Structure 1
């Protein structure tokens, strides 16, 4: 049988309540019965599905008082009143106060069912509209925080909103500077835990001998200098979200304790034998794929990686660069009381031809410098980033293939310029590059012909 809707039925007379509930259930409704108005009121919130069907005359809180309080909690909730014959005038007045309908006792069951069916349909449409409005509002706010029009960032926003509804652990993958903590914050804020605390901790920034205390806390005297009890991040985040950044750097011995905490939902402070229950969502972030990593426990990986989000690097959504740059430059101008600057075509070309190895973090830094220095062009500011691009490849194996290719390309062009002492024609011939392409690459890597010209 198709579910016709949900009914909260309130009546202090047991026989009437049971008979009405039985008839409604046979008609396809899901019924929850209450003998007192106060009990029903606890089940009502703005997203309460179904309708309220209540007797008017009851001991304690009566049906009219229940209706008034229910409509404060859920203004669009349809309320149908069951009234005695002499209460018609009062019920009519109640409809002016927000009641959906009333029906006199004794009532014809078929008539009651039809009125409840219409009320449930109205409630269903109201809830769909409310959820749509909230979804649109969430997307609008999210677009203002995760800025961009590229397919990659649009996909990330969709996946984030879908995951926010699930109270599962998540791993966020992304290169340095892509905004992993911002994504984790958004995931928390749009989740059912959004009104609770968001607690971040960078596993790679805390000394190995202190990270266990940071996560699980300690009792006074647990170790040298532990003068008093300390509440750890796990305990402090209970009810909310714990964000473990750079999870790949967590020591193996601590991974075992983290796994136990996630499995058992309890922790022990250092120096204590007391188990403390915790209820939280863990969002972890990593720069590298943890799947198959010999330095990361497989069982912990599967406990954390119930869901995954992948943040695209900036070079894979280059069409978002002008929007992001304008956003951060505008904020920088406001914060430093400077007049906002307009990007020229030359500036836009420089922005979109740069490799952005530092991702959004690097872009934000350049944008603020652009906002506060009216004499500097984007190309000039990017040229000062040369050390980041042209640093030796040795010891930088964690960088992506695209960044390492860009570094190698920069090195080849630099060496050709040195060999030919800045002779652009000779460099073009050696590297088999058109003049425009060579100019763009030199601009991208901050290479100036005058630096190589023979004195």
Structure 2
């Protein structure tokens, strides 16, 4: 493994023999020691988002360890600083802990003690940087147009690639997926990635709108068209001119209205209720359904001609249970969103929590996961952040998965997540997961995980 891929550790001490001894100990443990002889040189070596940790003696000529700690805390309060104290410096060490030191080592210390403290500090640093990266992604998402499709599984990569292609062509689209998979988010992503992004995106839930008003809502009406029509009203189709109309739960649209929708799709024009004048439309229709419209058409519950008109481009959205490897990433994303909104902290998910995510069946799909992440942030402290106690009903919902299948999914997800967190650096993954290098490579081969893919993703973040 190339040396540059190892996690760096800054060891600052004016005593050369201690720097050499500590550096050799950490190098044997798989780290990349950096050994400046004074605090000023250590500060010069600290870059933004430095991936490692800092180990420093307290008593040094010039800037001492406490002053170095204060300066590091000013630059990056999340960077763990481990201080080395001499015999009788316990009061100084206590002061350092109060000022934010991660831990301290009292001379003389064993190599095992050094590597253990550094290992825990490096893990803390990794979680801090991951949380920072997610928050930066959220800020970028707010600034950039359109929602983000999150997922690393092949199914989600295929979905994202399909959306990119479809967004560049002028075709109506049918989204197919279970309740809660995020059809509305996919529709918005499709709109924002297209040339129509500067024009309105109008969302209509056909199942939630009363049948008595849906026609007027969609097509608009002229003054006096019916009792209560005291003024002209521009309908949703006309308002969306130049943009996109999202018809959610289109299977719930009344059959009579389906005839008028078919005419809109064919002629790209509408007539307001009470008017004989056509209004030309330049819109894209994005319809969504959770049912098989072909079967509904065969049962006479949906117009067959409308089904075939909508079925030009169909985009299937996979349910959450078919992309379980995305669960930790999605959960962490929703937790950070909830934490930013509420002003609370989003604690990292531990291995037990990942196991709970993997075992659950997710009948409510992404919507259910988002709700769980929000409960985790808002109520987690009450339940000691034990995710199994926050899952509704306390049932893991393992469904049709056997225990070996659950174990494999859990293992693959942990390795994939660790690769992502460490930018594809396999030696750090081995250290983080406690795996011998050969075992780790065997598992990468077994699960078809390639470290270089994660290095590319990491570089593009």
Give the TM-score taking structure 2 as reference length: 0.53
Aligned counterpart, 1:400: none
Match of 2:329 among 296, 301, 323: 323
Following superposition of structure 1 onto structure 2, how do residues 204-353 of structure 1 map, counting pairs within 5 Å?
204-293=207-296, 294-353=300-359
How far is the alpha carbon of 1:383 from its aligned partner? 3.8
- In the superposition, relative to structure 1, how do residues 192 and 332 fare at CA in structure 2: closer, same or farther (>3 Å)? same
Structure 2: distance between partners of 1:240 and 1:342: 40
Does the 8 Å CA contact 2:388/2:394 hold for their aligned counterparts?
no
- CA RMSD in angstroms comes to 2.8
**1:145 is paired with a residue of what secondary structure?**
coil
How far is the alpha carbon of 1:221 from its aligned partner? 1.9
* Structure 1, 158-167 or 272-281: larger mean CA deviation: 272-281
Following superposition of structure 1 onto structure 2, how do residues 286-435 of structure 1 map, counting pairs within 5 Å?
286-293=289-296, 294-373=300-379, 374-376=381-383, 377-384=386-393, 406=399
How far is the alpha carbon of 1:257 from its aligned partner? 0.6
How far is the alpha carbon of 1:384 from its aligned partner? 3.5
How far is the alpha carbon of 1:225 from its aligned partner? 2.0
**1:356 is paired with a residue of what secondary structure?**
coil
Does the 8 Å CA contact 1:171/1:284 hold for their aligned counterparts?
yes
Structure 2: distance between partners of 1:232 and 1:367: 37
Give the TM-score taking structure 1 as reference length: 0.54
**2:202 is paired with a residue of what secondary structure?**
strand
Aligned length: 261
Q: In structure 1, list runs of 5 or more residues that go unmatched.
A: 1-136, 390-402, 411-431, 441-455
**2:382 is paired with a residue of what secondary structure?**
coil
**1:333 is paired with a residue of what secondary structure?**
helix
**2:334 is paired with a residue of what secondary structure?**
helix
Does the 8 Å CA contact 1:291/1:301 hold for their aligned counterparts?
yes
Aligned counterpart, 1:169: 172
- In the superposition, relative to structure 1, how do residues 235 and 202 fare at CA in structure 2: closer, same or farther (>3 Å)? same
Structure 2: distance between partners of 1:372 and 1:344: 17
Does the 8 Å CA contact 2:338/2:374 hold for their aligned counterparts?
yes
Does the 8 Å CA contact 1:292/1:298 hold for their aligned counterparts?
no
Does the 8 Å CA contact 1:164/1:187 hold for their aligned counterparts?
yes
- In the superposition, relative to structure 1, how do residues 247 and 189 fare at CA in structure 2: closer, same or farther (>3 Å)? same
How far is the alpha carbon of 1:279 from its aligned partner? 1.1
How far is the alpha carbon of 1:142 from its aligned partner? 9.4
Aligned counterpart, 1:451: none
Structure 1: distance between partners of 2:145 and 2:353: 27
Aligned counterpart, 2:150: 147
Following superposition of structure 1 onto structure 2, how do residues 193-204 of structure 1 map, counting pairs within 5 Å?
193-204=196-207
Following superposition of structure 1 onto structure 2, how do residues 112-123 of structure 1 map, counting pairs within 5 Å?
none
**2:234 is paired with a residue of what secondary structure?**
coil
Higher radius of gyration, 1 or 2: 1
Structure 1: distance between partners of 2:146 and 2:226: 47
Q: In structure 2, list runs of 5 or more residues that go unmatched.
A: 1-139, 411-461
- In the superposition, relative to structure 1, how do residues 314 and 143 fare at CA in structure 2: closer, same or farther (>3 Å)? farther
Structure 1: distance between partners of 2:151 and 2:270: 40
Structure 2: distance between partners of 1:233 and 1:323: 36
How far is the alpha carbon of 1:321 from its aligned partner? 0.6
Structure 2: distance between partners of 1:270 and 1:143: 33
